[in-house]
Amino acid sequence: MLEVHFSDDLHKWALAPLGTPPNGQKSRGKIICNCYDVSENEIIETCEIGADLQTLQAKLKCGTKYGTCVPELKRLVKTHRTNS
């Protein structure tokens, strides 16, 4: 009989259709715009290269449907935007 032991780290990937555990993947962060599945990290990275709200909307489409995320987008722009 074959016995297989998984370490705690591998246990969570035991049923994943992968040959090796995933690594090196960067977390997207929480989703800010649910309409377009845009994450906080994507928004922050775009703000850090100088994007304002209109640029975020044009580039990532966030805040262009129902707009419930717009107050959070404005907060992220204010906090993370760098002038380029």
Using CA atoms, how far apart are residues 84 and 70, in angstroms rounded to an integer?
22
Question: CB neighbours (10 Å) of residue 10?
Answer: 13
Which one among 13, 29, 34, 58 touches ligand FES, defined by CB under 6 A?
34
Give the interface segment with ligand FES, choosing from 5-13, 28-36, 40-48, 76-84 (CB under 6 A).
28-36
* Binding of ligand FES by 78 (CB under 6 A): no
Mask: binding to ligand FES, 37-66, rule CB under 6 A, as x and -? -------------------------xxxxx
Rounded to whole angstroms, how far apart are CA atoms 31 and 29?
A: 7
In angstroms, the CA 69 to CA 8 distance is 37
Residue closer to ligand FES, measured from CB, 65 or 78:
65
